Structure formats: C-alpha cells, structure tokens
Structure 1
Amino acid sequence: MELSTLDVSFIIVFFSVVLGIGVYVSKKSGKNSSEFFLSGRTMPWWLLGLSMVATTFSTDTPNLVTDIVRTSGVSGNWVWWCFLLTGMLTVFVYAKLWRKSNVKTDLEFYELRYGGKPASFLRKFRSIYLGALFNIITMASVTLAAIKIGGIMLGLEPWETVVGAGLITVVFSALGGFKGVVYTDFLLFFVAMAGAIGAAFYLVNIPEVGGIEALIAHENVSDKLNILPDFDNTNVLITMFIIPIAVQWWSSWYPGAEPGGGGYIAQRMLAAKNENHAIGATFFFTIMHYALRPWPWILVALASLVVYPDVASIAQAFPDVAENKLGQDLAYSAMLTKLPSGLLGVVLASLVAAYMSTISTQLNWGSSYIVFDFYKQQINPNATEKQMVAVGRMATVGLMLLSALLALTLQNAFEVFDLLVTFGAGTGLVFILRWFWWRINAWSEITAMFVSGIISIVLVKTSLGHILFDPMTGVFPEWANYPFVVLVTTTIWVTVTLCTKPESDQTLRAFYKKIQPGGPGWAKVVDKAILAKVDISHPKEKWSVPAGITAMLLGVALVYASMFATGFWIYGENTNASIAAGIALISGLLLIKVWNSLKEEIL
C-alpha cells in the first residue's frame, strides 16, 4: 500500500509534535522521582481522564475486538464489558481511598496495610511480577498488534515495525516521564478518536459493504449483531455472559481493570490534585471506555466479515504476511488498507497514537514499580532523586526491549487476553476486601497470587486440564475451567488467612487512622483501640461504602444503557434506542442525587 505525500506529512508532523512535547517537559520531569512518575500530584481530573482513555485505546484493542466480533459476535465483548462493574466500584469506593493513601505506587500500599517481612517480600516480588513479567506480556501484545498493522498496511517486516515504533516511543517515554505521557495523551486522545470514527464511517460505506443497512442485512453479519448472547445456547450464554458478569469482574486481576483499582489506573488517581479529581478522572474514563468507544471498532469488524469472511480470504489478499501472524484479528488492519489518501494518514497516525500512549504508560508505570518498590527497597535504600530517575529511564529501555523480543514470538491478541485473565483468576476478592476486612494479611495476597498462577499453569499445561475440562471427554463442561480456578484459589487464600496471625495492632491502627475505611469489617480494631484509649477514628468521617455501592450500581446502569442506546441507534432500532436512552437518563439523574449525598463534588 502506497502512502501519499499528504499521509506521510501528517504522520511526520504528528511524530514531531509528540517528541517535541517529550523534550519540552524532560527537564522538569527529571527534576525528581515524584515529577517523573506522578507529575508532582498536581493533575486535574479531565486531563487524567483523557489520559486513561488514550492509554487504553492501544493498537491491540481494536484487533482484540475484531477477533471477538468475528468469532463470537458483538455479544462476545461481554468478556471485557463485564469489567465495567470493577471500574465503577473503583470510581465510587476506591478512588477516594487510593488518593488518601498518598503512596507513590499502588505497591507501596503493602507496607501501609501490612507489616513485617511478608509485606516487604510482597512489595518487592510484585514489583517484578507485575512491573516486569505481566507488564512485558501486556506490551508484547500491543506490539504484536503494531506488527500486524505494519505488515498489512505498510508491508513491513516484524522487526522493522518493532524497531521503528519502539525506538520513538522509548525515547519519548524516557525523556518526558509521566508528565510527558499525560500531556501527549491529550493530543493522542483526539487523534485516536478521529481516526477510529473516520475509519468506521468510511469503511461501512465502501461499495463492497454498501452502507449500514446493507451491512446489517448481510448473511455474514446478521447473526452476529445481538448485544446480548443467545439465551438458547447454554454454553455460549454461560461462557460469554453469566461467568463474566457473575464471577470474572470481581475475581480476576487484569491490567487496567484491577478489582479495587491498581496499576496505571491507580497511578493516575495518585497523581490527581485531590480525592475529587481522582474520582472525576476514573468516572470520565469508565463512561468513554465502555459506552462509546467500542462501537467504531465493532462496525469495522462487522464490515470485515463482508469483505474478508474468513482467515483464508485474508491470507489470499495479503500473501506476504507470515503464517504465524495470521488470525481473525488481522481483519481490522486489512480493512484499513481501503482508506483513501488523507484519511489514511489520520488513521495511521491514530494507530501510532494508540500504540505510543499505551506503551509509554506501561513503561512509566512498570519502571515506577522497579524504582520505588524494588531498587529503592532492595538495592539502594539511600538512593538520591537523581539516581532514581536514572534507574527509571534505564528500566524504561529494558522493558521496551524485552517486550519487543516477546512480541516477535506471539500470534494472537485474544490468547494473551485469555492468559492474563485466567492467570489472575481468584485474586480479585483479596484486592476488594483488603481495604474493609482487618483480618486479611500479607499471606492472604501471597497465597492468592501463587495458587492462582500455579493452578492456571497446571490446567493449561498438563493433562489434568484435559481430563477435567475437555469439551469431549472432560469430567466438567469447558466453561467450568475459570470458576474452578476462582473457587480453589479463594478457598485456599481464605483458609490461609484464618490460619495465620493477623497484622499487628500497630499496623492496623496506623492504616485505619490514615485511610478511615470504616464499616463492620474494622469494628473489632476500632473497639480494641477505644479500650486502649488510642484515637484512630475521625468523628466527621462517615462510612460511605453503602452510598458508594448504590452510586456504582446506578453508574453501571447509566453506562450499559448508554452502550445499548448507541448500538440500537446504529442498528436503526430507534424505539429500543429511545428506551435505553431513557434508562440512561433516569440512572444519571439518580446518580447525581446519590453523588451529592456523598458530597463528592468534582467540578
């Protein structure tokens, strides 16, 4: 595919602006570690919210959505739409708690909530486990998508894409730090949205597709339009809807959707001006991420079923693509090759924007773990600010290099998604309850983390998984695999919790005094402190969790109803769209009332 002068000019200007921002903020970002990783905790909610949305655009997300839609239909997206419940819980319950903690990374929380050697071990281990291992896998998935886009649209070899995209991103990330990431995310958000919407509008109306009405009526598409799964297909209903909504959202750790908040979402909450801005940022992100942004990708995925009905047709159209990179997810890139000059440049820039935003965030977040939670804790407790920034920049380069090498060996975006979700199965409940149940200790998290990983590996890599869950000969149906991991993991970590010593009174009282989590889960600690005449409660601080959960449920109704309304409007089902919009409006009005009762005025 040949790029016009206009396309190339747009891309060059875009790269120049992004790198210019990185250079411009590099001096201030390198001033100290707080500036490099949290921008001095001065960020407003709207900028952080836009940054979260831009970060989760990613190059692998449209590929993942395309893979899901082509394989399981629009309703297959419930495997990640379910994480809206996690997001809303973070907005109305955990965002305030994270910002009050005033930690530099969410792993620093461990030595605030727990004590002794187990807490220290947990913090150091998770810094490598998440900051390096999981982070590298996530970035490799994003880079794999870039490889496929480069191969399909520009005819680039995998190594050429990795070197070209990775080099610019790592230089920008190492220079600009967190401030550079957030500032450029503001630009990247608008470029990425324009590219996604522009591509969807044009591709649905190309002659091969024939417009939205012809698309919806096409035989390859008509059976994949339902937003909810087929309730007559028990296996699909359980796998794609019931398990995600009933179990997956609260039980699994997944980057960007951690139960109770965490990762780069927590990093942005910690960088906010105050608690109100932390809540506002996560609320804005959650609405955009689930209600509006997926539909342009879904439309392109549906249109691709008309132009490229199967993988064989993609392979025939693009014979130079390596066999180990072929898959349903390639259809998104394949469709983009049909864009006209000008729009093509915008879309390519938007994909570059998505890649840079996600990778730069992952690099800054991952290196913050390595610096604060491993280097300073384990190697050099007396490290100067200058040394920590230097190590952060070196870690940024190292993480980029390792993820690029791994990306060259991967094949499919959904496989990585499934791996990450399953590997973290059963750990989520610990992250949710550790703020509100005093009895949870460091051993609870250590146990959950190791048991979940070990069971997942055993079921995937050994014959036991086939004996238990093989669809033809297994003892249990295939859909029971994930709930099984959750049940076993949860049972073991709860048992270990009750069989090990609780955290010391000193640790528990210090945590309660700082965070004020409230609720019956801390009643024993508060009562004991009162008897000891130790003041740990703030009289004006009320337990806001019940109101927070009410706000969460209303927020979920608002976003899901908005998502349905958007889909029905696109499908031309105006009556259903109006009903869904009405539900969204009512939910929004009730949410405002509850929000005011929480006295969390964001604006």
Structure 2
Amino acid sequence: MDIQTLDYVIIFLFFAIVLGIGIYVSKKSGKSSSEYFLSGRTMPWWLLGLSMVATTFSTDTPNLVTDLVRSNGVSANWGWWCFLLTGMLTVFVYAKLWRKSNVKTDLEFYELRYGGKPASFLRKFRAVYLGVLFNVITMSAVTLAAIKIGGVMLGLEPWVTVVAAGLITVVFSALGGFKGVVYSDFLLFFVAMAGAIGAAFYLVNLPEVGGIEAIMQNDNVKDKLSILPDFSDKKALITMLIIPLAVQWWSSWYPGGEPGGGGYIAQRMLAAKNENHAIGATFFFNIMHYALRPWPWILVALASLVIYPDVASISEAFPNVPADKLGHDLAYSAMLTKLPSGLLGIVLASLVAAYMSTISTQLNWGSSYMVFDFYKQQINPNATEKQMVAVGRLSTVVLMVLSAFLALAMQNAMGIFNLLLSFGAGTGLIFILRWFWWRINAWSEITAMFSSGILAILLETTSLRSFLFASETGLFPDWSELPFIMVVTSIIWLTATFMTQPESKEVLQDFYRRIQPGGPGWKKVVDEAKADNNDVSQGEGKWSVPSGLTAMLLGVVLIYTIMFATGHWIYGKTTSALILTGVALVSGILLVRVWNRMKDNIL
C-alpha cells in the first residue's frame, strides 16, 4: 500500500490535536472524581450526542457490518438495527429517570433501588462483571479490528498495531478523563464521518466496481441488496427480523444498547446539564447511529463483493495476513487499500479516530466502575478525591493491557457479538421493569445475571447446543437459541422474585420519592406511604410513560423510514424513496406534538 507524505502528515496532525486536548483538560479533570468521570455534570446535549455517536463509531463496527452484508445481505443488520427500539425507549422514558437519580454510575442505582447485602453484592459484582469482563471483551473486539486494518493497510504485525494504537489511546484517556473523551469526540465525529463517506463515494465509483448501478446488477450482489429479508425464506425471516424485533431488543443486554439505558450511554445522560439535555443527547445519537451512519459501510461492503467475492480472493490479495485473522470482515480494510493519497490519510485518521473514541470511552466508563463501585465500596470507603482519580488512571491502564492481550488471541468480531447477546439474554426485561414494578428485588437481577451467563457458557462449550438446536435432530429449531435462553432465564428470575422477600418499605418509598417513576406498578407503595402519613408523591402531574411510549413508537417510525428512504434514494428507487420520506416527515411532525404535550405533563 502506497502511503504518501501527505497521508502521514494528516495522521500525525490528528494524533497531535487529540493528545493536545487530553493534556489541556488533564489539570481540571484531575481535580475531583466527579470532574474525571462526569465533567461536573455540565455537558450540553449536542456535545454529549456527538460523543455517543463517535463512541459507537468503532473500528470493529464497519468490519461487523461488512461481515453481515457479505454473509447474509443488508437485511442481516437487523441484528443490531433492532436496538433502535431500546434506544427510543431510553430517550422518551428512561433518560429523565436516570438524570433524576443523580448517581455517579448506573451501578450506584442498585443501592438506590434495592437494599441490604444483596444490593451491595450486586453493585460490586457487576462492577467487575461489566467493568472488567464485558468491557475487556468489547475493547478487545475493537482492537481486533484495528489489528486487521493495520495488517491489511499497513502490513503491521498484530503486536505492533496493539502497542502503537493502545499506547497513545491509554495516555490520552488517563490524562483527560471524561471531559477529554467528550471534547475529543467532537473532533473524532467529523473526522470519522468524513472518512467513511469519502471512502464510500470513491470506492463505489472505482472503474473495476463501476458505480452503484453496476453494483446492483452484479451477480455477487443482487441477492444481498434488500433491506428486509426474503419473506419466502422462513428461517431467514425468523432469525434476521422476527427474533430481533420481537425478542432481542428488550430481552438482551448489549453494550450501547442496554434495555432501560445503562453503561456509557447512562454515563453521558448523568453528565448532562439537566433532564432535557439528557433526552436531547440520546435522541440525536439514535438518529445518527441508525438512520444515516450505516450506509457508507454498507456501500463499501457491497462494492467489496465485486472485487473480492469470497474469503479466498481476500487471502490471495493479502497473503501476509495470518490465516486465523481471515474472514469476510477483512474486506472493508481490503477495499480501503485502493484509496488515493490524501483521502487515504483522512480515512486512516478516521479509523484511528473511531478506535480512540470507542476505547477511551470504554476505559473511562469501566474505570468509573472500578473507582466508585468497587474501590470506594469494597477497599477504601474513606478514599479522597485525589486517591480516586489516581485509582481511575491506574485502572485505565490495566484495562487497556488486558484487552490488548485478549485481542491478540481473537479471530472474528461476529462471534463476539453473538456471544455477548447470549450472555445478556433474558436480563433485559428486568432492566426495563425495575423502574416501574416495586416487586422486583436484588435477587431478581442476581439470578437473571447468573442463569443467562451459565446457559450461554453451557451452550457454547458443550454438546448441549447440538442436542437442543441441531437443524435436523435437535429438540428445538436451530434459530430458537436466543429465545430459549430468554425464556429459561425469565422463568428463573421470576421464580426467584416471588420466592424471596420484597425490598423494605423504607427502600421502596425512598426510591419513589427521589425518582417519581409513577404508574400502577408502584400503587401499593404509594398507598402504603399515604397510610403512614408519608406522602412520597411530588405534584399531581399526569404519568408521562403512556405518552413516552407513543413518542417512542413515532421515533422508531421516523428513524426507520429515514433509514429506508436513504437506502432507496441510493438504490435509485425514487417512488418508494419519496413515499418513505413523506412518512418520515409526518411521523416527525406528530412526534414534535406528542413531545410538547409530554413536557407539560411530566411528573
């Protein structure tokens, strides 16, 4: 690959600016733990929204999308597009609740909602479970993508990529804290978008590709263009569309798509100036993340099928890539090697931006768990602000090292994605209901977490999967693994809920007084409080959740129709594109009206 001086100048200039941001904000970020992890809760919606988009603009995401498109067509993206429903629920129902809680991390919520030793255990355990295990796996998937990009585009050995990319990112993250992450995300967003769009436009119009019309007529591409799966293919319809939309979005916990909000999305909502800024940030993120951003990656994936129709052709073109790193996901990096100087520098900088944004966010978020939910809770309850910042910076480095070693042992991001979905299957319903049903207790979450994890491990490492889900001889259809885990896990946690004592009256009443969740699921608690002359309600406003659900559905229609319309405009299907654009406009107008009514009636 012919990288010119101009490309190197662009890349090094980008590095210098990002590191400069980290150094500039390091002094203020180190003043307190609140500054280091939440930037003093003063962030505006637009900056937090851009940060959310930049964070999920990861190096492994275009690789994942490429793998999905090349393997099963554009419609295979419903495996993650379905999480828009989760996102819209967070926007119009949960964003204001999270901001009202005023906790430092979403795990602090456990000792607000639950009480006693089970709540304390749950908070500490999930700090390690999510902050270390899940976080390291997620970062290693991102680093794996960087390894593949470095190998194909720059001819770098895996360890060289890991050291070079990881060292700069961990220094920047440890210095700047959350403010450094968010400020740099503003730059990273525009660099990443420019690189993705520029690459897609150039590569689709390569002479050997021939433009969008030629792509659509290519025999390798024709059957992969549809945004919806083939309705005559029952298995494809169930696995690619029905299960994601009917089950997966609410039942599975996945980083960035947590039912009820959570993780680094919650961290940004908690850092917002107020509830309205938290809502605005999450809404902007969902529009950009689902409606517009996937199409540049999809176009490159489709173009790659013209030049590299299979994995063997990729291997032939890049013989130096290790066999254990070969896969359809490598086609994205392979296509980028065809970019001209200048644009190549911008794209490489955009990939670096995507990597740094995601990893720095994961590091700061995971470190916040280690500091607030483990170190201060378990090791040093009297820790000073200076000590907590120091532990935050140390844990940032440790998490980076762990993820780097794991990345060197990994092969494919698609398998990681599916494993994470299985681990979280069945837990999502708790995260949705715990705000609105008083009977859920700490044991509900503990049993759901362990049962889903154990089931996922058993199905991954034993012959149990073959016995239950083999296509011809299994007890159940081979597409039913995720629903199976969800159903079994739900039965287990519901049983545990009713076999254990509910949370104490004091804990439940304090939670209601602080959050004001409203609804019939809390009627018993509110009535008991009134009987004790302890009115926990604040104001007589109308319960906002029904309007929130209406807004959620309108938001889903708005964003999906924008996504569909964008695809149809690209495909040249003018009539259907116009119809979809019209539906998007109508749903947008209705959404504004519903949201204006909600603001007047929110409790």
Q: How many Å separate the matches in 1 of 2:242 and 2:600?
A: 33
Partners in 1 of 2:541 and 2:99 — Cα distance? 16
Match of 2:253 in 1: 253
Task: Return the letter of the residue paired with 1:360.
Answer: S
1:426 corresponds to: 426
Offset at 1:339?
0.2
> Mapping of 1:109-120 within 5 angstroms?
109-120=109-120
Alignment of 1:133-152 (within 5 A): 133-152=133-152
Distance 1:472 1:441 in 2: 41
Structure 1 residues 406-421: aligned runs within 5 Å: 406-421=406-421
Matched with 1:60 is 60
Q: Distance in 2 between matches of 1:79 and 1:196?
A: 21
**Per-residue deviation at 1:306?**
0.3
What corresponds to 2:491 in structure 1?
Answer: 491
C-alpha distance in structure 1 between counterparts of 2:168 and 2:541, whole Å: 48
Q: Residue 276 of structure 2 aligns to which amino acid in structure 1?
A: N
Distance in 2 of aligned mates of 1:460 and 1:199: 37
Distance in 1 between residues matched to 2:286 and 2:368, nearest whole Å = 24
Question: Is 1:363 the equivalent of 2:363?
Answer: yes
Encode CA deviations 1:443-483: one digit per residue, 9 max, x unaligned.
00000000000111111211111101011321211101110
Aligned to 2:441: 441
Give the Cα separation in 2 of the matches to 1:473 and 1:333: 39
Q: Deviations over 1:174-211 (max 9, x none)?
A: 00000000000000000000000000000000011001
**SS of equivalent residue, structure 1 residue 599:** helix
Answer whether contact 1:276 1:600 (CA < 8 A) is retained: no
Q: Do residues 528 (structure 1) and 528 (structure 2) align?
A: yes
Q: Please name the residue that 2:565 is paired with.
A: 565
Tell me which residue corresponds to 2:452.
452
User: Residues 290-305 of structure 1 correspond to what in structure 2 (within 5 A)?
Assistant: 290-305=290-305
- Pairwise CA distance, 1:3: 1.0
Query: Who is 1:19 aligned against?
Result: 19
* Residues matched between the structures, number: 602
Q: Distance in 1 between matches of 2:71 and 2:480?
A: 20
The equivalent residue for 1:402 is 402
**Normalised by the size of structure 2, how large is the TM-score?**
0.99
Q: Aligned ranges for residues 190-229 of structure 1 at < 5 Å?
A: 190-229=190-229
Partner in structure 2 of residue 269 of structure 1: 269
Alpha-carbon distance change, 315 to 600 in structure 1, aligned in 2, over 3 angstroms: farther
Corresponding residue for 1:577?
577
Distance, in Å, in 1 between the alignment partners of 2:215 and 2:487 is: 43
1: CA distance, partners of 2:358 / 2:564: 27
Q: Aligned pair 1:173/2:180, yes or no? A: no
Give the equivalent residue in structure 2 for 1:31: 31
Pairing 1:476–2:476 present: yes
Q: Is the 8 A contact 1:516 1:541 kept in 2?
A: no
Q: 2:465, 2:206 → 1: CA distance?
A: 46
2-structure distance, mates of 1:542, 1:477: 45
* Cα offset, 1:599, TM superposition: 1.2
Partner AA of 2:31 in structure 1: K
The one-letter amino acid of 1:3's match is I
Residues in 2 aligned to 1:459 and 1:443: alpha-carbon distance in whole angstroms: 24
Instruction: Tell me by how many angstroms 1:500 deviates.
Output: 0.6
Alignment root-mean-square deviation, CA: 0.9
> Are 1:2 and 1:154, in contact at CA under 8 Å, matched by a contact in 2?
no
For residues 387-423 of structure 1, the C-alpha deviation after alignment (integer angstroms, 9 at most, x for no partner) is: 0000000000000000000000100111010010111
In structure 2, the partner of 1:95 is 95
State whether structure 2 residue 49 is matched by structure 1 residue 84: no
For residue 48 of structure 1, give the secondary structure of its aligned residue in structure 2. Answer: helix
Structure 2 CA distance for aligned equivalents of residues 536 and 331 of structure 1: 58
1:59–1:145 contact (8 Å) kept in structure 2:
yes
Moved more, 43-52 or 459-468: 459-468
Shift of 1:541: 3.8
Partner residue, 1:592 = 592
Please give the alpha-carbon distance, in whole angstroms, between the structure 2 residues aligned to 1:244 and 1:213: 31
CA distance in 1 between counterparts of 2:590 and 2:196 reads 32
SS at match of 2:595: helix
| 1:153 and 2:153 correspond | yes
Measured in 1, the distance between the counterparts of 2:2 and 2:237 equals 44
Comparing 495-504 with 115-124, greater Cα deviation is found at 495-504
How much does 1:573 deviate? Answer: 0.1
Please report how far the alpha carbon of residue 535 of structure 1 lies from its aligned counterpart in structure 2 after TM superposition: 1.7
Q: Deviations over 1:293-320 (max 9, x none)?
A: 0000000000000000000000000000
Runs of 4+ in 1 over 4 A off after TM superposition: none
Equivalent residue, structure 2, for 1:163? 163
3-state DSSP of counterpart to 2:535: coil
Where in structure 1 are there 5+ consecutive unaligned residues? none
User: What is the CA-CA distance between 1:2 and the residue it aligns to?
Assistant: 2.4
Deviation at 1:540, TM superposition (A): 3.7
- The amino acid across from 1:308 in the alignment is Y
Contact 1:6 1:342 in 2 (8 A): yes
Amino-acid identity (%): 77
| Aligned counterparts of 1:389 and 1:600: Cα–Cα separation in 2 | 40
The 2-side partners of 1:372 and 1:2 are apart by 47
CA separation in 2, counterparts of 1:161 and 1:323? 17
Inter-partner Cα distance in structure 2 for 1:539 and 1:13: 54
Q: Cα deviations across residues 238-290 of structure 1 (Å, max 9, x unaligned)?
A: 00100000000000000000000000000000000000000000000000000
CA distance in 2, matches of 1:93, 1:443: 25
Distance 1:439 1:131 in 2: 27
Structure 1 partner of 2:384: 384
Q: Which residue of 2 aligns with 1:313?
A: 313
Please give the alpha-carbon distance, in whole angstroms, between the structure 2 residues aligned to 1:134 and 1:237. 30
The residue type equivalent to 1:128 in the other structure is V
Q: CA contact under 8 A between 1:22 and 1:172: conserved in structure 2?
A: yes
Paired with 1:147 and 1:235, the residues of 2 have a C-alpha distance of 34
2:125 aligns with 125
CA drift of 1:600 comes to 7.3
